[in-house]
């Protein structure tokens, strides 16, 4: 019997990438699934494949930046299934561009999806996780929630915020003795479409950045990422690092301290496409 068999699991950003891989892995383990995305075409494909694995699936269009919609969605999921046991706040977008050339609206968009989307999902579902008597909250940050790099000021801001938010929520659950485990996930380079869909400042070559990411940085498959996440969740880990790059760079930052910034600036100036 799987540890998630029969449990109600919520996954946002389920239309592709890590989200889809998580849904299919959970479906194979017997979870009952509430999945969502703004990409309805991708979401429908994920739902179809999960149902082929025998899973009960509720699939809904959801924009995680729309707080009232997320609150309504949480109520609908709880009413539909009768309980909520696990929530994976996975939905996210990417942005690459130097701050000098980045518009305020671009920073706000990244923060709205990548940070406030996690906050909205956490606040909406936390009462149901507590009520389940055996809840687990999983928020997806990034390797860039562990270290900063040039060109990622907006994304770093959101992912560092997710990390701090999630770690604080974990501590609050411990202090209050609520029956909710909390895990923060930090993927490294994952072979998904996130870089190809990333926004860039006007005039920058998005294709060049996407090609560099896919060819040089994306080393881990979504399926391997999902497997690592589910293992960490089963073990109630506070932090899950995905990929050798995430583990190596996390260790580097711990050892180097603030000096890592100068090293990273030097390396990225030589290898990362600019503009």
Cα-flanking dihedrals φ and ψ of residue 95, to 5°? -150, 140
The span from the CA of 73 to the CA of 255, in Å, is 43
Tokens of residue 187, six digits = 């993927």
> Which of helix, strand or coil describes residue 201?
coil
Nearest to 163 by CA among 118, 204, 205: 118
Sign for the pseudo-dihedral over CA of 154, 239, 87, 164: negative
- How far is the C-alpha of 218 from the C-alpha of 221, rounded, in Å? 8
Q: Is 155 a catalytic residue?
A: yes
Catalytic residue among 88, 95, 155, 260: 155
Instruction: Count Cβ atoms below 10 Å from residue 172 Cβ, excluding itself.
Output: 13
**Dist CA 71 CA 243 (whole Å):** 33
* 50/32 Cα distance (integer angstroms): 10
Active site residues per annotation: 155
């Amino acid at each position: 019997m799987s540890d998630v068999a029969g449990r109600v699991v919520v996954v946002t950003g389920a239309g592709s990438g890590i989200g889809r891989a998580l849904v299919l892995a959970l479906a194979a383990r017997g979870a009952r699934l509430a999945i969502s995305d703004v990409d309805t075409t991708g979401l429908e494909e994920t739902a179809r494949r999960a149902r082929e694995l025998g899973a009960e699936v509720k699939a809904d269009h959801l924009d995680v930046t729309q707080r009232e919609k997320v609150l309504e969605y949480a109520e609908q999921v709880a009413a539909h299934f009768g309980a909520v046991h696990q929530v994976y706040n996975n939905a996210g977008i990417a942005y690459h561009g130097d701050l000098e050339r980045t518009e305020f609206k671009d920073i706000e968009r990244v923060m709205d999806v990548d940070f406030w989307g996690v906050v909205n999902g956490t606040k909406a579902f936390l009462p149901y996780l507590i009520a389940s008597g055996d809840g687990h909250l999983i928020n997806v940050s990034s390797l860039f929630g562990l270290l900063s790099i040039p060109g990622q000021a907006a994304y770093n801001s959101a992912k560092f915020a997710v990390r701090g938010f999630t770690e604080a929520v974990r501590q609050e659950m411990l202090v209050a003795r609520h029956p909710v485990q909390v895990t923060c996930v930090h993927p490294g380079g994952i072979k998904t479409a996130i870089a190809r869909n990333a926004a860039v400042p006007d005039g920058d070559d998005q294709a060049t950045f996407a090609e560099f990411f896919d060819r040089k940085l994306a080393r881990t498959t979504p399926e391997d990422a999902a497997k690592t996440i589910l293992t960490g969740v089963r073990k109630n880990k506070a932090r899950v690092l995905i990929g050798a790059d995430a583990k190596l760079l996390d260790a580097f930052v711990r050892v180097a301290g603030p000096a890592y910034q100068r090293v990273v600036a030097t390396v990225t100036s030589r290898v990362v496409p600019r503009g």
